[in-house]
Amino acid sequence: MCLDKGYDSRPLRARLQRRHYTLHLKSRGQEQREKRTRGKRARRLVVQRVASWLNRYRRILVRWEKKVENYQSLLHLVFAHILWRSS
């Protein structure tokens, strides 16, 4: 589970430990130092980048569909379009 310091709390750590998750919790200062060393990248940036890509699609950003199935199929279509564009 990759989180930033805003999510750091004892109850969250205990819940993640019970579910056998490995916690990756770093502050921005630690991420900046890691980015300077070779071979290490900040993990949180991948999630932020995907969220940014999804925000470009207005129909995903504002949910217009009432049925869950329609919304999920639209999400699959958007992810397929993102993958197609990136390759």
Q: Which domain holds residue 45?
A: 2-86
**pTM of the complete model:** 0.48
- Count up the domains in the chain and report the number: 1
Each residue of 4-15: pLDDT tens digit? 777 778 888 889
For 43, the token pair is: 């993990």
Rounded to the nearest 10°, the torsion over CA 30, 44, 11, 21 is -110
* Chain segment 20-56, per-residue pLDDT in tens: 988 877 666 666 676 666 665 655 566 777 888 888 8
Instruction: Let me know: does 32 contact 53? Beta carbons within 8 Å.
Output: no
User: What is residue 34's DSSP assignment?
Assistant: H
> How would you classify residue 42: left for phi > 0, otherwise alpha for psi between -120 and 50, otherwise beta?
beta
Q: In what helix (H) or strand (E) does residue 4 lie, and over which residues does it extend?
A: strand 2-4
Length of the chain: 87
Question: Confidence band (pLDDT; 50, 70, 90) for 18?
Answer: very high
